[in-house]
Amino acid sequence: MGQFSMTISAGAGSVLNDNQQLVYILRLSHTRKRAKLLLNSGIEALNDGFVMFDGDDRLILCNRKYQEIYELPEEVLRPGTPYSSVFGAWFAKQDPAPAETEVSNWINTRRAKSVVGEKLDMDHRLADGRVIKTSNHPLQDGGIVGLRVDVTELTRAKLAAEAASKAKSDFMGVLSHELRTPLTVIMGVAKLSENARLLRSSKALLTAYEEGDVPSEKAKAMLEDIFAQLSGLQQRMVQSGEHLEHLINELLDVAKIESGRLVIEPTICNIKDIVDPVFQQLSTLSRKKGLDFEVVQEAETVFADNMRVRQILINLVGNAIKFTDSGFVRLCIKQHDDMVRFEVCDTGEGISETEFESIFDVFYQVDSTATRRAGGTGMGLAISRSLAELQGGALTVSSTIGKGSCFVLTLPATRTRSEQPEALSELCAEQS
Ligand code: ADP
């Protein structure tokens, strides 16, 4: 055995004896162990994945979070495992498994970047949908230190915010078009009425008068013609005004719902009083499109806000007529246990299953392009669902592309216990 011959100086020229040297070395080793332990526990405590490879691309260490993110087996995470094996173990679990060239391309790119001291950041999309932000930083000795951050929630929130922002800008385009159309009609009719003598019927009367050809019967008929033309124009103006009023009311409803200020006043209502005006308002439109519009009423009363249920049904039936070119639109009202079901079914273009939730998002339209076939703003269904929920009900859809859609509004048949006066007085009694 060789003699231990190193001498250690304690400074200022004094040299330590063998015992003192041993104590010094032990203390040094203890300090190193403590530092290593501290470093390891710090790395373990990280909320993100941490990994380190040496200059030969062999694993030095990684923390538990790194193992969890990639769901790697213990044996590939032993110090000394080549990077290609660690990465390969994770890649092998991907479905579908990536091509071998893809694997070797990634390994080579990563190494090439670290050789020239370039860091490499990218997002990994895992097979189960998680998104991991990976950052690899080259070290001076040729090694690589990496951080893995799970940014799934952040990415989802970002995508949702982008979609909401797109929906809002699409909506601004749609809304300005929807507002401009009736406004153009109103302005046009107002200008025509201002110059009533330019109307075809007025011109005819004036010409006849100038030619001295106005026997009283003919003059009366010509005046009637003027009145009829003016009344037709006024009707168009009123319809456009009502359309504008409807749009503005929808905007106000969205604002009230978003700020939680929308007040619902439910009472026991006669369903016939709700449904009859819906039929009166929309049967002409359905007839014009050549559709059968049928109402089948098998329930008598519902506990709801009369005006708000009518608003929902007008939106649902209006949509059904708008998106149906042939066949029928049917409104069936039935009672199931303690709920009343209003089913609005059509034989229209249908809605893809991927859109079943989005169509209830405010401003969302399956087609919001300038060339879309049907008008509308994408507010109706969002308002309708909120109104249904505020009344203790729900609004859902089922549909098949090319076959038709069925929207189901459910509302309580009777006053629920929490809304009964005795339940309120019990609550007051409990609180006093
Ligand atoms: P709007 O009808 O004003 O566009 P809605 O919120 O009422 O807004 O409807 C949102 C979207 O849902 C519509 O633009 C349309 O794409 C789709 N939709 C609603 N009802 C139907 C239906 N009965 N058939 C087919 N698509 C529909």
What is the distance in A from the centroid of ligand 1 to the CA of 316? 8
Does the beta carbon of 138 lie inside 6 Å of ligand 1?
no
Same domain, 52 and 69: yes
Q: Does the structure show a pLDDT above 90 at 340? A: yes
> Rg of the chain's alpha carbons, rounded to an integer?
38
Same domain, 213 and 252: yes
* Residue-range definition of the domain harbouring residue 3: 1-45
Predicted TM-score (pTM) of this structure: 0.65
For 315-336, what is the mean pLDDT? Answer: 96
Picking from 259, 281, 313, the residue at the C-terminal end of a domain is: 259
What is the distance in A from the centroid of ligand 1 to the CA of 378? 7
Same domain, 246 and 177: yes
For 296-303, what is the mean pLDDT? Answer: 96
**Picking from 18-22, 64-68, 91-95, 347-351, which range would have the lowest pLDDT averaged per residue?**
91-95
Ligand 1 atom at shortest distance from the alpha carbon of 315: 7
pLDDT per residue as tens digits for the range 49-95? 999 999 899 999 999 999 999 899 999 899 999 998 888 888 777 77
What is the distance in A from the centroid of ligand 1 to the CA of 359? 7
What is the Cα–Cα distance from 303 to 413, expressed in whole angstroms? 5
Same domain, 15 and 143: no
Is the residue at 427 inside a domain?
no
What is the Cα–Cα distance from 85 to 396, expressed in whole angstroms? 50
Same domain, 104 and 8: no
For 223-252, what is the mean pLDDT? Answer: 92
pLDDT per residue as tens digits for the range 110-167? 878 877 778 888 888 888 889 999 998 988 888 899 999 999 999 999 998 988 888 7
Same domain, 291 and 408: yes
Does the beta carbon of 323 lie inside 6 Å of ligand 1?
yes
Those residues with Cβ within 8 angstroms of residue 83's Cβ, 6 or more apart along the chain or in another chain = 53, 57, 58, 59, 107, 110
Same domain, 100 and 57: yes
Q: Does the structure show a pLDDT above 90 at 1? A: no
Q: What is the residue with the minimal CA distance to atom 2 of ligand 1? A: 376
Same domain, 52 and 40: no
Is the residue at 317 inside a domain?
yes
Same domain, 322 and 199: no
For 238-263, what is the mean pLDDT? Answer: 92
pLDDT per residue as tens digits for the range 167-206? 778 788 888 888 998 999 999 989 888 888 888 999 988 8
Pocket test for ligand 1, best of 322, 365, 373 (most atoms within 8 A of CB): 365
Is the residue at 425 inside a domain?
no
Same domain, 129 and 171: no
What is the distance in A from the centroid of ligand 1 to the CA of 319? 6
Is the residue at 432 inside a domain?
no
**Picking from 72-86, 317-331, 367-381, which range would have the lowest pLDDT averaged per residue?**
367-381
The predicted structure's pLDDT at residue 121: 86
DSSP E strand boundaries for 339-415: 339-346, 394-400, 404-412
Q: Does the structure show a pLDDT above 50 at 427? A: no
Q: What is the residue with the minimal CA distance to atom 16 of ligand 1? A: 366
Picking from 117, 150, 183, the residue at the C-terminal end of a domain is: 150
Does the beta carbon of 377 lie inside 6 Å of ligand 1?
yes
The predicted structure's pLDDT at residue 299: 95
The predicted structure's pLDDT at residue 35: 85
Is the residue at 155 inside a domain?
no
Domain count, the chain: 4
What is the distance in A from the centroid of ligand 1 to the CA of 73? 50
Give the pair of three-digit tokens for residue 276: 């009859």
Is the residue at 428 inside a domain?
no
Ligand 1 atom at shortest distance from the alpha carbon of 376: 3
Mean pLDDT (the chain, rounded): 87
Write the CATH number for 109. 3.30.450.20
Cβ-contact 170, 147 below 8 angstroms: no
Same domain, 298 and 391: yes
Q: Which of 239, 322, 240, 310 shows the shortest CA–CA distance to 277?
A: 310
Does the beta carbon of 380 lie inside 6 Å of ligand 1?
yes
What is the distance in A from the centroid of ligand 1 to the CA of 3? 91
Does the beta carbon of 351 lie inside 6 Å of ligand 1?
yes
Model confidence at 431, pLDDT cuts 50, 70, 90, reads: very low
Q: Does an H or E element contain 135, and which?
A: strand 131-138
Picking from 259, 291, 326, the residue at the C-terminal end of a domain is: 259
The predicted structure's pLDDT at residue 163: 83
Those residues with Cβ within 8 angstroms of residue 415's Cβ, 6 or more apart along the chain or in another chain = 266, 268, 303
Q: What is the residue with the minimal CA distance to atom 23 of ligand 1? A: 320
Cβ-contact 72, 90 below 8 angstroms: yes
Same domain, 112 and 171: no
Model confidence at 218, pLDDT cuts 50, 70, 90, reads: confident
**Which of 17-26, 192-201, 275-284, 364-373 is predicted most confidently?**
275-284
pLDDT per residue as tens digits for the range 393-412? 999 999 999 999 999 999 99
